Amino acid sequence: MKHYQLRLYEDVIAPNHAPVYLAAARRALYVVSGDVTIEYGEGAQHQRADGAWLGDDDLALLAGAEGVKLWRWELISAGASGETLSAGEISAAPGARSTLKIDAPIELEPRQRWLMRCDKVQFPPGGVAHTHVHQGPGVRCTLEGEITIETLGDSHTHGPGSAWLELGHAPVLAPTTEACATTFIRCFILPRTCRGRSSIRYVHPEDASKNKPQRYHVFGERFITLD
């Protein structure tokens, strides 16, 4: 196994700010609010709130008239030469700021071929993800509502803006609040052969036939190459 870091940043860029530049990285961008034009090596894409972009080019980000708030996931090799926590933060942009929400260590099998997926998971009030595993690790962040993650003997509750790592192979039970609907945004690393397929597997046979109230929307998938 090879060690990597999956980082999640929150970027806030002022309205109509001059272009903000990011170095090349394996990344996913989710637009939390506002809108942004993403310029990359092969073209450009305009993205409004509740949309995502995946790629590995160096970027220019142009915020719209209302500014933009982004969640930005980046996969880097652990201990990469010259790599620091500040390397992924926006710099030389006085109307922009970056906040590192989580810097999560993960392990990936270098003989496996991988993809990066960004999606949205929505629960009705009181919905539960029964005890399950996934085919790869990932970092989630709550958009609205509240979810409790019970795994490896620990339990943590995540409200809006709170991020967490799921290892994939470690079983997770995830109840949500009954007070309102809950939504989280997820970026995770999966085998390429999982393309277009659900990665979830239920640990207890009796859970397979239970009601699954959560709904999924995949924003995109992109094949990635490990260092």
Read off the pLDDT of residues 19-31 as tens digits, 9 standing for 90 and up.
999 999 999 999 9
Give yes or no: residues 81 and 154 share one domain.
no
Is 56 in the same domain as 85?
yes
Backbone angles phi, psi at 179, to 5 degrees: -75, -25
Write down how long the chain is: 227
In this structure, are 137 and 220 located in the same domain? yes
CA distance linking residue 21 with residue 94, whole number of Å: 12
- Can you tell me the mean pLDDT for 186-211? 95
Q: What is the DSSP letter of 176?
A: B
- Please give the pLDDT value at position 89: 86
Of 88, 105, 122, which residue sits at a domain end?
A: 105
Average pLDDT, the chain: 95
Query: Has residue 85 got a pLDDT over 70?
Result: no
Q: How many domains does the chain have?
A: 2
Average pLDDT value for residue range 74-86: 69
118 and 98 inside one domain: no
Residue 84 has what pLDDT?
Answer: 55
DSSP state of 188: E
What tokens does 17 get?
Answer: 């700010």
Decide which of 55, 78, 105 is a domain's last residue.
Answer: 105
> Is residue 66 domain-shared with residue 125, that is, in the same domain?
no
Tens digit of each residue's pLDDT (9 = 90 or more) over 145-178: 999 999 999 999 999 999 999 999 999 999 999 9
Closest C-alpha among 79, 74, 70, 71 to residue 58:
74
Task: Please name the residues in contact with 118: beta carbons below 8 A apart, sequence gap of 6 or more.
Answer: 28, 30, 52, 54, 73, 185, 186, 187, 218, 219, 220, 221
Across the range 191-195, mean pLDDT stands at: 97
* Share of residues in the chain with pLDDT > 90 (%): 90
- At 99, the pLDDT band (50, 70, 90 cuts) reads very high
- Global confidence as pTM: 0.95
Residues 98 and 140 in one domain: no
Is residue 186 located within the same domain as residue 101?
Answer: no
Task: Using the 3D structure, point to which of 51, 82, 105 is the last residue of a domain.
Answer: 105
Q: What is the pLDDT of residue 78?
A: 81
Q: What is the structure's pLDDT at 92?
A: 83
Q: What CATH number does the domain containing 161 carry? A: 2.60.120.10
At 122, the pLDDT band (50, 70, 90 cuts) reads very high
- The structure tokens listed for 105 are 């260590």
What pLDDT shows up at residue 91?
82
Tokens of 195: 């393309």
Say whether both 42 and 68 belong to one domain.
yes
- Smallest CA-to-CA distance from 188 within 222, 226, 150 is with 222
Domain encompassing residue 72? 2-105
* Pair 146, 52 in one domain: no
**What average pLDDT does this structure show over 79-106?**
81
């239920």: which residue's tokens?
Answer: 202
Closest CA to 178 of 219, 120, 128, 216: 128
Do 49 and 128 sit in the same domain of this protein? no
Q: Do 131 and 179 share a structural domain?
A: yes
pLDDT at 32: 98
Per-residue confidence at 81, pLDDT binned at 50, 70, 90? very low
Distance CA 161, CA 156 (A): 14
User: Could you tell me if 30 and 80 lie in one domain?
Assistant: yes
Residue 10: closest CA among 219, 161, 140: 161
